[in-house]
Amino acid sequence: MKVALLQLKTLPTPEENLEKIKQMLVQAKQEGADLAVLPEMCCCPYENSAFVRYAMPENAPFLQGIAEMAGALGLYVVAGSVPLAADGRIYNAAFVYDNKGSCIARHRKTHLFDINVPGGQYFMESDTFTAGRDVTTFDTPWGRMGLMICYDIRFPELSRLLALEGARAILVPAAFNMTTGPAHWEMSFRMRALDNQVFLAGCAPARDLQSSYTAWGHSIVTDPWGSVVAELDENEGILTAELDFARLEQVRAELPLLKHRRTDCYDIIRK
Ligand SMILES: NC(=O)CC(=O)C(=O)O
């Protein structure tokens, strides 16, 4: 399965971002992608005021436009995330459209990004968002995939549950920043891939030094051995990579970490 991570420099409005995303999806298809992933908050700036201003329902023109492109190009697309307006609340949510344009999964970010690093990054997603309770997988012709959003990656329980539920790759729309990116981005993607012997693909926005929240960029694919398969720098671009699932079987046979878990001593449960 060939993935394409669309590292776009986010523009101010959903309409402008949709136009750019459409062009990048066409390019990803031309490069042979089977599945494309968009960054966290791909429709608007990563700011609480923008999340409120652009909160959209599931059938919003922005999401419908991406679904139509998925169907027209015959491409699986992980759209997101976007600020989702539902039940009188706003969620940080990602949607998956199959190659016919049908919505086959939705993930509402389970862990909200509330951090305060003195001299570094401050952000309070809980000022706007309500947390989801999702553990999200979906099926494709290449096997089962897991879906998380950004800060979710920091909680090993969630990716372990996804792997135990059969995910062979975990797709992560994300937006680390200039404080946490250099410290934790690559390490997190390598470790979650290694812990669970799966592929991880993290799609970030390109860096924009004029924005209030400066993204680290560096969209990345890591493999079941914990190696980096491919990684971008901070600039706008498309990262494509082949996920070789025979490699996953090989690593699991050689180093059977998942089989060696001591579930007689401990376990992890979904509630
Ligand atoms: N944007 C996020 O949710 C998370 C992040 O930037 C980080 O964990 O660092």
Minimal-distance CA residue to ligand 1 atom 5: 176
Residue-range domains of the chain with CATH: 2-254 (3.60.110.10)
Tokens describing residue 76: 């699986």
Asked if 218 contacts 184 with a C-beta cutoff of 8 angstroms, the reply is no
Q: Active-site residues: which are they?
A: 40, 109, 150
CA of 185 to the centre of ligand 1 (A): 9
Minimal-distance CA residue to ligand 1 atom 7: 176
Asked if 28 contacts 75 with a C-beta cutoff of 8 angstroms, the reply is yes
Minimal-distance CA residue to ligand 1 atom 4: 151
C-alpha neighbours within 13 Å on the C-beta side of residue 1:
25
CA of 87 to the centre of ligand 1 (A): 25
> Which residue, chain included where needed, has tokens 């993204």?
215
Ligand 1 atom closest to the Cα of residue 152 is 3
Which residues contact ligand 1 via a Cβ below 6 A? 113, 150-151, 154, 175-177, 180
* C-alpha span between 163 and 2 (Å, rounded): 20
* C-alpha span between 101 and 257 (Å, rounded): 37
Helix (H) or strand (E) holding 202: strand 199-203
CA of 147 to the centre of ligand 1 (A): 15
CA of 113 to the centre of ligand 1 (A): 6
Ligand 1 atom closest to the Cα of residue 109 is 3
* C-alpha span between 189 and 186 (Å, rounded): 5
Minimal-distance CA residue to ligand 1 atom 6: 176
With 0.90 as the threshold, say if the pTM is over it.
yes
Ligand 1 atom closest to the Cα of residue 40 is 1
Tokens describing residue 243: 């996920």
> Which residue, chain included where needed, has tokens 């797709």?
171
pLDDT in the model for residue 14? 98
Asked if 190 contacts 156 with a C-beta cutoff of 8 angstroms, the reply is no
CB-based contacts of 194, cutoff 8 Å, min separation 6: 222, 224, 225, 226
Q: How many CB atoms lie within 10 A of CB 157?
A: 12
Tell me the C-alpha to C-alpha distance, in Å, between residue 150 and each of 7, 204, 259.
Answer: 14, 9, 28
CA of 43 to the centre of ligand 1 (A): 17
Residue-by-residue pLDDT tens, the chain, 271 positions:
999 999 999 999 999 999 999 999 999 999 999 999 999 999 999 999 999 999 999 999 999 999 999 999 999 999 989 999 999 999 999 999 999 999 999 999 999 999 999 999 999 999 999 999 999 999 999 999 999 999 999 999 999 999 999 999 999 999 999 999 999 999 999 999 999 999 999 999 999 999 999 999 999 999 999 999 999 999 999 999 999 999 999 999 999 999 999 999 999 999 9
Ligand 1 atom closest to the Cα of residue 153 is 8
Task: Evaluate the CA torsion angle 186, 193, 26, 40 in order and state its sign.
Answer: negative
Report the complex ipTM. Answer: 0.97
